[in-house]
Structure 1
């Protein structure tokens, strides 16, 4: 999934989203902090391609976007809203194709503004970035070409604390940033920075009321943090090959950014530092068992604002969870199979 797939719903229950064959599934806690139910298919019987995106608004509603096959050699994007983990999600609704028709152009991203409107981002057939947003009173606005060219990999999108959407993408040698000046206004290409990155390592997070931060691994294997308007800041050597999971949390009374990544050893590595104070440095600490190569990690805060980490392996279907203990530091309890 593109984005954090472990989320806390409006009712405090944690849920995870995953793919199984051609369907999107949801698993959720029966009560906050309690046992988990079985996976349930969401959005109806629509067949999906792998690689959906997940986003969540300030109202805690989950929004999913995926490609679906429409005709031989063609696909279209669809969107689904899930209001609460134990409720049935809405059926998949068509969002269309950035070029009108054609096959998949790249993995989508989705973010939700302060008014609860989903914004879908995807690379278009010309190699630039396209966006389509929900209208306030229902339906979807037109596809908008946000320009650029030769974009590689999946874009990432995030809502800032003030509800404005920001998006990031990579083309050879350069990271690019788009933003809105105000909610429900046009996007503009705001900044870019020269760098080389490893494919598949972008992750964005709102790290303060004013800023979002993009995390990525550069070509040398260094995990970096970038806030537009400045140069990327190296944090640490990347623990492993994939993207980091990221969450803003309070640790021992300090506003921190917590990162997690499947390490080269197969275990999950964690690193925390004071939010937006990258100069303080970050150091990895590994936890849990060695996991399959396709395992991914996601982070969230539970109903008690405790950090929860989840790992999911598509090849085995195994879901593991660990929660922060009620003690100083970032001490996690035992990893448990769900």
Structure 2
């Protein structure tokens, strides 16, 4: 049964026409596309956007009208954008990076230097406010993608997301019920299963909380409680904004989260430096301790640790090679947390590990793979990392001690690959992988647990997803797949037999 529905309505908001070109190029086939510009542009800028929209039409997008300049004559850009959004009713909005990465630093003026005009980030921030207000008015989730002008600010490279794909957004709670969490313009939205294993759900429900940026990390602890990590923007008294890492926990499925607790920033209180804090990566170790890592203003790694007794350390810094804003944590079979980070100035990956719970962090520069930007994720088996190869786009898996990465097949599609382990079939145990295929299709692969080298069997399922598809294996052994339709509806499918094959039942929308 196909879950195909009407095309997703996507609105691109940019400072000027030329800044919209890369955002249009990032849009895949099938969308209904509109473009809003805050300011008028030159003839060359308008022509460049016209060419980009023509290319989008040839890719399969439906371009709705000509780009519009909002013309905020009273100077209230946010109000003008809100009026346009009310008429367009987009389901997804694409923006530039609201917090661009600096390329150098002006020591005399004590300010970072960027290679793009300040109006670009200002337009993105105004649009974020307008989209948030539109979602609060309409009650309908709007999802936001923010794109860097280049890979970590380097010119001549393709744009990628400021905030990582939310990968493990479908998770089992302490009581066995499932929850789905996704970041939206107005905050985290949640769907909740009524009873374990049941087909009845409620949602989407907008969870109360602070003004969050449109990214989310979901990490489950050993007790089954999901922990949510995000970035929060806080106005400073002297102007500008402070961006801080925040965390909330769901202890009772379907009930309110704990208040969002601020973990601060490794560069706090500085309206220039704190805005560039990277997106948090987090993991629990075998003793119940929590590690939270971010890329800091200087492009090294900072972290905080919460012990099992609840005590937090201050922010501490890991020395080494400068990194991009792409961090992935894994927990090994021995319960140790390790960190992987893509290098900022090369195609390399760095790894940090400790020799024991009280050991110092060691930087490993010998990791033998180069990933596509935005494709790294923790694998379903302890200590493994999944990624797409930079040269071939093929999903691969690697773990410390392996001589090289293991190709997994399925080079089509984009984005991370995730999965679930412990899936039993006829007495054998398998790992199940899930990824996006061409045009957002959902593809599922399986291999013998611990033996990815024996080959992966991929099967493309009749479901498309505008978000990274998700999978969870619950305590009963039931495997559930989740996608998000173009209409922003949660769609699910369950494995038909708990122990007899990899066939999945019909997809249903909640």
Q: Deviations over 1:285-338 (max 9, x none)?
A: 1112334xx32111111342121111125x632211111011622110111112
Q: Deviations over 1:22-63 (max 9, x none)?
A: 311222111112211223344x43110011211111111111
- Contact 2:284/2:290 (<8 A) preserved: yes
| Alignment equivalent of 1:283, drawn from 457, 465, 471 | 457
Shift of 1:259: 0.8
- Contact 1:159/1:206 (<8 A) preserved: no
Q: How does 1:1-338 map to 2 (within 5 A)?
A: 1-34=165-198, 35-42=200-207, 44-71=208-235, 72-101=240-269, 102-171=274-343, 172-183=346-357, 186-190=360-364, 192-205=366-379, 207=381, 211-219=382-390, 220-230=392-402, 231-252=404-425, 253-291=427-465, 294-313=466-485, 316-326=487-497, 328-338=500-510
- Contact 1:127/1:150 (<8 A) preserved: yes
- Contact 2:211/2:232 (<8 A) preserved: yes
State the alpha-carbon separation in 2 of the partners of residues 186 and 307 from structure 1. 39
Change in 2 beyond 3 A, CA 1:295/1:136 = closer
State the alpha-carbon separation in 2 of the partners of residues 137 and 324 from structure 1. 39
- Contact 1:246/1:260 (<8 A) preserved: yes
Shift of 1:5: 0.8
Q: Deviations over 1:208-257 (max 9, x none)?
A: xxx41111001121211111122112121423111112111223122222
State the alpha-carbon separation in 2 of the partners of residues 147 and 246 from structure 1. 32
Shift of 1:89: 1.4
Q: Deviations over 1:69-106 (max 9, x none)?
A: 01224311111111131232110011011223410322
TM-score, normalising length from structure 2? Answer: 0.61
TM-score, normalising length from structure 1? Answer: 0.90
Change in 2 beyond 3 A, CA 1:307/1:82 = same
Shift of 1:265: 4.1
**The 10-residue stretch of structure 1 (59-68 or 237-246) with the greater mean CA deviation from structure 2:** 237-246
Structure with the larger helix share:
2
Shift of 1:191: 5.6
Extract unaligned runs of 5+ from structure 1.
none
Q: RMSD in angstroms over aligned alpha carbons?
A: 2.1
Shift of 1:261: 0.8
Q: Which structure has the bigger radius of gyration?
A: 2
Q: Deviations over 1:1-23 (max 9, x none)?
A: 54411111111001111122131
Shift of 1:156: 1.1
SS at match of 2:453: helix
Q: How many residues align?
A: 331
State the alpha-carbon separation in 2 of the partners of residues 139 and 41 from structure 1. 30
- Contact 2:218/2:227 (<8 A) preserved: yes
SS at match of 2:309: coil
State the alpha-carbon separation in 2 of the partners of residues 138 and 196 from structure 1. 37
- Contact 1:191/1:229 (<8 A) preserved: no
